[in-house]
């Protein structure tokens, strides 16, 4: 799906579908009034008859329409003038895209001159249109027979904004939005691939493929032999039961000055999680191919960064393994030594994400990072706390956390900060090792972060538990969401801007 910004007036735009905003209880906007007059009062009549409304998040198809170069017209509502929330806008755009798709339209034009969103400019509006359109037009059907492959006809979205400052904002928003759409599509693709295809070696090859797209991106793959020599006993304990070797994937983007401290993003990449010896229940286990959602979001973010070429240094790290039961698998009660030298008593092999992450978090000390964010589908407990509506954020640095929360508010990738008290740390105490890998049922999301925090003393760090938002669990929408690529990208770009 391609998004472009044009300064053409909506009445002169040749398109399959034209979308015009209206406000609830207010007179028609200038653009809507123009289209209404040309079309023989199509909009005002539809409003009068109650066929369409200006209520927040609404959208209505008016077809056919006369005297327009557009074949069809969609009127979308932004609620009360001056009170349109970002969520209202996204919902309205989502309905516009859905209706346009339903008409089998090949292109769509959305007029934004009169669109107003509280505390959001035309850069943000255009960026959101790109994200929403890409999400609605995304398909993953390469494993269906050709006869069953469904294709979306909508391939182009035009954002109409008159020349001037708002047009420049829209142009910049389109640039970021298109890059985000591409990054999120990669994240969705990797997440949706089956575990027999997308394993650690596959991810390593994907990183090498991405490196070929830019001279500013380099990739290093650390194999198990080198992991062993570096003392990564925690990571290796997870891959021990699988025939698939673990991979530590390092993607370095060098767009800043030499010597500038990089911002590091680390993703959990368990390409399939059976739970190991602590075997998961069979029902729903197919969804454990999504347990590399954190890694997939790192790939998507790095792809976005490579496309946008910001003046900064970024390191993307994916710590990937497959968690399988076998005669060589790690057992509950085993004790392993991490790269940091700390020892861990493994009480549950299904708490494996923190084991692959902890060695990666020690490894990234070498970069002397300005900040580190790890992203992981780490705990089912986060679903109990926040549902499927947002991610938990926990860390050791208030500035990093506040910046994440600001980006979350801007992008719509909701987060909620959880505490990390001394009492939580005590839940990880072990009589046999420096710590256990679980802290019991209570505060599971927090104790998982407490575990990771023990490996992050040397830099500012935050942890995002995305188990609730990385994928949809069932129905026709089942699949990877592409989140939180917008949040991570926004966090990084804000640092590039200074």
> In this structure, what CATH number is given to the domain that contains residue 104?
3.40.220.10
> Which among 128, 241, 111 is positioned nearest to 180, based on CA atoms?
128
The last residue of a domain, from among 135, 166, 197:
166
* Same-domain status, 266 and 389: yes
pLDDT at 447 (0 to 100): 98
Q: Is 280 assigned a catalytic role?
A: yes
Number of domains in the chain: 2
Count Cβ neighbours within 10 Å for each residue of 414-429 and write b for 16 or more, e otherwise: bbeebebeeebbebbe
C-alpha distance from residue 332 to each of 144, 321, 438 (Å)? 40, 18, 11
The answer to whether residue 28 sits within a structural domain is yes
The answer to whether residue 176 sits within a structural domain is no
Cβ atoms of 299 and 213 closer than 8 Å: no
The answer to whether residue 177 sits within a structural domain is no
> Which among 107, 106, 124 is positioned nearest to 115, based on CA atoms?
124
As a whole number of angstroms, the distance between CA 224 and CA 246 comes to: 6
pLDDT at 396 (0 to 100): 98
* Same-domain status, 97 and 223: no
User: Would the pLDDT of 147 be above 80?
Assistant: no
pLDDT at 395 (0 to 100): 98
Alpha helices in 195-292, H assignment, sequence order? 200-211, 224-230, 233-239
Cβ atoms of 155 and 1 closer than 8 Å: yes
Band (498; pLDDT cuts 50, 70, 90) = low
pLDDT at 49 (0 to 100): 85
Q: State the burial class of residue 477 (Cβ atoms within 10 Å of its Cβ: 0-12, 13-18, 19+).
A: exposed
The answer to whether residue 83 sits within a structural domain is yes
Average confidence (pLDDT) over 443-450? 98
* Same-domain status, 126 and 238: no
> Which among 326, 303, 275, 292 is positioned nearest to 198, based on CA atoms?
292
* Same-domain status, 209 and 302: yes
How large is the greatest C-alpha to C-alpha distance in the chain, in angstroms? 81
* Same-domain status, 250 and 130: no
Average confidence (pLDDT) over 451-459? 98
User: Would the pLDDT of 6 be above 90?
Assistant: yes
Q: What is the residue whose two structure tokens read 């002397």?
A: 368
Band (66; pLDDT cuts 50, 70, 90) = confident
pLDDT digits (tens, 9 = 90+) for 67-119: 899 999 999 999 999 999 999 999 999 999 999 999 999 999 999 999 999 99
The answer to whether residue 53 sits within a structural domain is yes
pLDDT at 4 (0 to 100): 97
Cβ atoms of 369 and 430 closer than 8 Å: no
* Same-domain status, 114 and 218: no
Q: What is the residue whose two structure tokens read 């030499």?
A: 258
Catalytic residue from among 354, 405, 454, 483: 354
User: Would the pLDDT of 423 be above 90?
Assistant: yes
* Same-domain status, 49 and 194: no
Average confidence (pLDDT) over 358-371? 98
* Same-domain status, 97 and 236: no
As a whole number of angstroms, the distance between CA 366 and CA 65 comes to: 63
Domain carrying residue 458? 189-496
Residue by residue, DSSP assigns 252-271 as: EEE-S-TTPPPEEEEEEEEE
Band (189; pLDDT cuts 50, 70, 90) = very high
The answer to whether residue 182 sits within a structural domain is no
Handedness of CA 285, 135, 393, 369 (dihedral sign): positive
Average confidence (pLDDT) over 458-473? 96
* Same-domain status, 146 and 201: no
Task: Please provide the average confidence, as pLDDT, over all residues in the chain.
Answer: 96
The answer to whether residue 161 sits within a structural domain is yes
pLDDT at 478 (0 to 100): 86
* Same-domain status, 146 and 204: no
Q: Is 258 assigned a catalytic role?
A: no
Band (366; pLDDT cuts 50, 70, 90) = very high
Catalytic residue from among 80, 254, 280, 494: 280
Cβ atoms of 262 and 314 closer than 8 Å: yes
The answer to whether residue 43 sits within a structural domain is yes
CATH of the domain at 439: 3.40.630.10
* Same-domain status, 136 and 249: no
* Same-domain status, 250 and 159: no
Percent of the chain at pLDDT exceeding 70: 100
Average confidence (pLDDT) over 153-181? 96
pLDDT at 392 (0 to 100): 98
């Amino acid at each position: 799906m391609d998004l472009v910004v044009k300064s053409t007036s909506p009445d002169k735009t040749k398109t399959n579908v034209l979308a015009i905003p209206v406000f609830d209880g207010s007179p028609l906007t200038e653009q809507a009034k123009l289209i209404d007059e040309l079309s023989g009062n199509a909009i005002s009549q539809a409003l009068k008859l109650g066929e369409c409304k200006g209520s927040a998040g609404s959208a209505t198809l008016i077809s056919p329409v006369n005297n327009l170069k557009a074949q069809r017209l969609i009127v979308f509502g932004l609620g009360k003038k001056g009170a349109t929330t970002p969520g209202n806008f996204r919902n309205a755009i989502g309905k516009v895209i859905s209706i346009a798709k339903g008409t089998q339209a090949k292109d769509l034009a959305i007029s934004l001159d009169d669109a107003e969103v509280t505390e959001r400019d035309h850069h943000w509006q255009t960026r959101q249109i790109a994200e929403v359109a890409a999400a609605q037009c995304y398909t993953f059907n390469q494993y269906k027979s050709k006869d069953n492959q469904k294709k979306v006809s909508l391939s182009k979205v035009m954002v109409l904004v008159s020349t001037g400052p708002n047009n420049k904002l829209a142009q910049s928003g389109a640039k970021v939005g298109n890059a985000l759409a591409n990054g999120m599509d990669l994240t969705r693709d990797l997440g949706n691939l089956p575990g027999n295809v997308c394993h650690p070696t596959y991810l390593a090859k994907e990183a090498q493929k991405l490196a070929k797209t830019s001279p500013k991106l380099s990739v290093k793959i650390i194999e198990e032999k080198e992991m062993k020599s570096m003392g990564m006993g925690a990571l290796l304990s997870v891959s021990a039961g699988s025939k698939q070797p673990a991979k530590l994937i390092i993607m370095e983007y060098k767009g800043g000055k030499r010597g500038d401290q990089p911002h590091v993003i680390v993703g959990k990449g368990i390409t399939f999680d059976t739970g190991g010896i602590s075997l998961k229940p069979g029902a729903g286990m197919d969804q454990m191919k999504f347990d590399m959602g954190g890694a997939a979001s790192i790939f998507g973010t790095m792809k976005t960064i490579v496309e946008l070429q910001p003046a900064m240094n970024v390191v993307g790290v994916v710590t990937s393994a497959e968690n399988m039961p076998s005669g060589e698998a790690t057992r509950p009660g085993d004790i392993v030594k991490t790269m940091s030298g700390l020892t861990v008593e493994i009480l549950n092999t299904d708490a494996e994400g923190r084991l692959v992450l902890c060695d990666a978090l020690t490894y990234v000390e070498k970069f002397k990072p300005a900040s580190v964010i790890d992203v992981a589908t780490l705990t089912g407990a986060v679903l109990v706390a926040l549902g499927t509506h947002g991610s938990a954020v926990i860390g050791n640095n208030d500035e990093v956390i506040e910046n994440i929360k600001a980006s979350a508010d801007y992008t719509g990738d909701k987060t909620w900060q959880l505490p990390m008290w001394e009492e939580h740390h005590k839940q990880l105490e072990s009589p046999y090792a420096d710590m256990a890998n679980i802290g019991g049922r209570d505060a599971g999301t927090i104790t998982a972060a407490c575990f990771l925090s023990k490996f992050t003393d040397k830099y500012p760090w935050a942890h995002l538990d995305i188990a609730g938002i990385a994928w949809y669990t069932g129905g026709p929408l089942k699949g990877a969401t592409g989140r939180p690529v917008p949040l991570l990208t926004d966090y990084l770009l804000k640092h590039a801007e200074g």
